[in-house]
Chain A
Amino acid sequence: MIRLVFIVLLAAAGLTLTGQGAYIHAKALLAQVLLDRAFTETLKTGRDVKPWPSADTWPVARIDIPRLGAHAIVLAGSTGQALAFGPGHVENTPDAGEPGIAVYSAHRDTHFRFLKDVEIGDEITVTRRDGKAFRYRVTHTSVVRFDESGIDPLSKGRGIILSTCWPLDAITPGPLRYLVHASILE
């Protein structure tokens, strides 16, 4: 009898954990659908649109990688809350298309899962909330510590960096970040 109770508890714990894991993915996916809608409206009206009433962030850009058919709606800010729903535009970095380096960050297992397939030479398009789109070419990739990124947002030229956790297939968090560097195509 005791063994049966143990088995039931074990199964329940297992289900809860898988449920939570699936919930993170489901939330990430569902949020992107709502964000897509909000961003479309932003492009149309020129105003910032909250994707759902209680949201504390709003979409600011859309990243497309045509070769991979991948895309994601970027949110203002890179707090943990925002990153659960989509890639975040890291604070204190310029907008895409402006002088300097714009940094976008997202989870390696949800919105930036496709970074593992990005190759040097790939084209990335960033559409801003004002409707202007900028094309970038991936120049190189690198791995850095989160607190020693070496990214100077005010450096010369116009570029973007997509950042996610490294190693890409690890399952525990770590200090390393994988950066995809791209510079603007004029």
Chain B
Amino acid sequence: MNVSVEIETPSRLTTRTRAVSLDRAALHALQCLIAIVAAIAAFFANGQAYANPQADQAPAYVKPSQARAGSLLLRADGDRYVDAPRLGTDIDLTVSGPTLRARITQAFHNPTDKWVEAIYVYPLPHGGAVDTLKMVIGDRIVVGDVKERQQARVLYDQAKQTGQKAALIEQERPNIFTNSVANIGPGETVLVQIEYQEPVLQSGDTFSLRIPLVVGPRYNPAPVVQMVELRPDNTGWGVVTNDPVPDRDRITPPVLDPAQNAPVNPTTISVKLQAGFPLGEIKSHHHQVRIDSDGDNIRIIKLAAGPVPADRDFELTWKPVSTKAPSVGLFREQVAGTDYLLAFVTPPAIEQAEQKPLPREVIFVIDNSGSMGGTSILQAKASLIYALGRLKSGDRFNVIRFDHTMDVLFPDSVPADSERVAQAKAFVDALKASGGTEMIPPMRAALTDPRSNDADSVRQVIFLTDGLIGNEAQLFDTITSMRGRSRVFMIGIGSAPNNFLMTRAAELGRGTYTNIASVEQVEERMRGLFAKLESPVVTGLTATFSDAKADMTPAALPDIYLGEPLVLAAKLDKLAGSLKIEGRIGDRPWIVTLPVANAAEGKGLSKLWARRKIADAEIARTMRQAPPEDTDKSILALGLEHQLVTRLTSLVAIDKTPSRPEGASLTSTELPLNLPAGMEFEKVFGPQRAAPRPDRDASQVRQQYAQAVTGIPAPAMQKRGAPQQVAMAVQSSNVPLPRTATDAELKLLAGALMLMLALGLMAWRRILLALTFLRFLVGRRWALSV
């Protein structure tokens, strides 16, 4: 092996001068060898102490880990810069049977010498019931209360003015929340802890949880509808604009261009998984994880490589070992004398009846807007091309593509013959992602049904999108008013889709939601979807309690597709009797009876019931089944009673003692988000000004920042909706390459030269001595002979 060659180097050098001092050289070589072996042993025993010296000399580039800790400067208007607070997030999940409890800790650090207010827009699962807020300042903990939204805002603003530390959690969408933290002192860190409860998702044998980590940039349609109203006082005309996204300012935080910035918002995730049954395969789909066992039925799952940037959903799935997943689950919880029940029932898979399944009319809609750029459009195209390949003769189909414009491939749906399918595949294959996301017109086109009375075929709309729009309500409205006999199947594409929009749209459209986050998942997930589309649907579901009086949710039980469970929550006056669920699988009746008293103990079920009731109320509002005032009243009552964050209630925590000295100004900054993984910045935000050279820009930034911080109150980030110009103090526009030269050769060469010189000098000494001796001898012989 080479090792011996290298280590022999010293002795090889000495061989040339063997005649001079063989033994001494051998001794040196031996000593050297011993020293090396000892050094290596010491190194592996203690890597730190012997850290490679060349690693310590700071190279001219900065690694992402360092860059993340570097200065993040936001350009406000003009030439001034604001240093943004830094954020780190820890997500701690505990799955116990049918539910999961999440504790999210956000650490806001203020690296500046100013007092700041940090505003962070972040996603939570839309089914999550947010019930706890704690603010940790040093060793003090302030626990938050649920208040009516306006009241909470007023309390927070007061605390902000008087210099008290305060945290406020507001719901912008069921899956978008805003956390505002006021009065973070210079160099200070404030921890904000949020907890929520969520049901675990089940589909077939697979259980899953999905934690979104970033809010994808939303497309907010411009207010196109202008309502002109005559003022009651008859003084003239008044113009009222009807904005499709009235709260656009609140859901458009700045987004960092990944080409210009290292990723931000590092996140750690750990999951304690107690499924309640022996676990088989466990899989994290988008993050590398490490899975450890803690007993037979408990697994601890952690990110393998430490913190990750918050730029994609975390998805974990698990299956029971070898056996089939339980088809029934019944759990109960008693809160304040009231019993709550949560039931999961998966109807059996039943063979298709003898008669042929009805032919289908399938309308495919594909989103090719800018936010689909990058990897998403590839996933969408692959999914659609797969779906086109699954059409059978006798089926009819059509394809619609949209960005801010739209095209319908055929004037009306056409028979799925090979020629038309090939034409459609070519059409899909040629699509490119760019432009805005106007989702209403294509949904209207897809739901327009010229044969609305045709009972001999099934009409299905398969809608592929990332759902990154701000006017969700308009889309729900469209589906509700136009769905007719069509069923809407949503396919969510990309690393951070709008899962709320997908789920609600599928629910209103009586279809299902399938998520595809990578090209690898296309085939498996699409196969699953087609199994659902081609199997009989469980319809006409009703649930009745024999003895107990129950307040059940969902109010109207949805149709159930193959492998999906019916999830039912109920508030009961007593735990007695049975729960009977009836329905039809295809054309066969199906009944199941569950004894209520045998339910197992569960956790947080009351919160899940309340969250689901709130969703029911929101749906009733969308479907105009009840006046908005009534639904709002019941949402508010549920939020306050069960201490949950809703559209109308917020969590607020206020520290009693003021910390910001009077006279010190407060800067408000909105924390920037990562662009979801796989997206292309320019496709979403349009071409940006060419970035100046990083190093030069950084020094300018630092100078200007230094000027800005001297007394001038930093400007608030008011210009929202457009990405802020963001510059990292230390950054580079592409992958910096590490230093890859050791000084081994240099040392070997210099060492060899020195050794040769030393040996040469020694030899020279010998020669001198020999000469002297020779002269002595010669002299003596001469003397003798004379």
Contacts and interface: CB of A to CB of B under 8 A. Distances in A.
A146 B737 CA distance: 5
Contact of B3 (A7, A24, A29): A29
B108 to A, nearest CB: 24
A19 B761 CA distance: 21
Contacts of A15: 10, 28, 31-32, 751, 755
Contacts of A27: 40, 43
A126 to B, nearest CB: 16
B225 interface: no
A23 interface: yes
Interface stretch (B50-58, B187-195, B381-389, B452-460): B50-58
A148 B761 CA distance: 48
A7 B258 contact: no
Contacts, number: 220
B142 interface: no
A130 to B, nearest CB: 9
Interface in B42-84: 43-48, 51-52, 54-56, 59-61, 63-65
B263 to A, nearest CB: 7
B470 to A, nearest CB: 26
B139 interface: no
A90 B755 contact: no
A84 B735 contact: no
A45 to B, nearest CB: 11
Given A17-B747, A105-B738, A22 B63 contact: no
A19 B221 CA distance: 69
Contacts of A160: none
Contacts of A103: 735, 737
A80 B761 contact: no
Contacts of B60: 146-147, 175
A101 B600 CA distance: 51
A2 interface: no
A87 to B, nearest CB: 9
Interface in A73-113: 76, 78-81, 83-84, 88, 90-93, 99, 103, 105-110, 112
A63 to B, nearest CB: 14
B289 to A, nearest CB: 10
Contact of A54 (B6, B46, B59): B46
B44 A52 contact: yes
B753 interface: yes
A148 B263 CA distance: 19
B227 interface: no
A154 B741 contact: no
B256 to A, nearest CB: 13
B740 A83 contact: yes
A105 B741 CA distance: 11
B375 interface: yes
B625 interface: no
Contacts of A151: 734-735, 737
A110 B375 contact: no
B541 interface: no
Contacts of A10: 754-755, 757-758, 761
B745 A21 contact: yes
B750 interface: yes
Name B's interface SS.
helix
Interface string A21-40: 11111110110000000000
Nearest to A179: B737
A62 to B, nearest CB: 17
B738 A88 contact: yes
Interface stretch (A64-72, A116-124, A133-141, A164-172): A164-172
B734 A109 contact: no
Contacts of B741: 107-109, 165, 170, 172-174
Nearest to A129: B288
A174 B738 CA distance: 11
Nearest to B8: A22
B754 A11 contact: yes
Contacts of B46: 54
A26 B40 contact: yes
Contacts of B695: 147
Given A11-B759, A107-B740, A163-B740, A18 B735 contact: no
A54 B740 contact: no
A20 B747 contact: yes
B744 A25 contact: yes
Contacts of A175: 60
Contacts of A23: 36, 39-40
Contacts of B56: 80
B520 to A, nearest CB: 9
B748 interface: yes
A146 B736 contact: yes
B752 interface: yes
B1 interface: yes
Given A18-B751, A21-B746, A144-B737, 4 more contacts: A18-B13, A18-B748, A22-B9, A26-B3
Interface of B: 1-3, 6-7, 9-10, 13, 28, 31-32, 35-36, 39-40, 43-48, 51-52, 54-56, 59-61, 63-65, 258-259, 262-263, 290, 304-305, 374-375, 519, 678, 695, 732, 734-759, 761-762, 765
Q: Which 5 pairs show the lowest CB-CB distances between chains A and B?
A: A80-B55, A14-B754, A17-B751, A18-B751, A21-B748
9 contacts: A14-B750, A15-B10, A22-B6, A24-B742, A79-B738, A81-B51, A151-B735, A154-B258, A163-B740
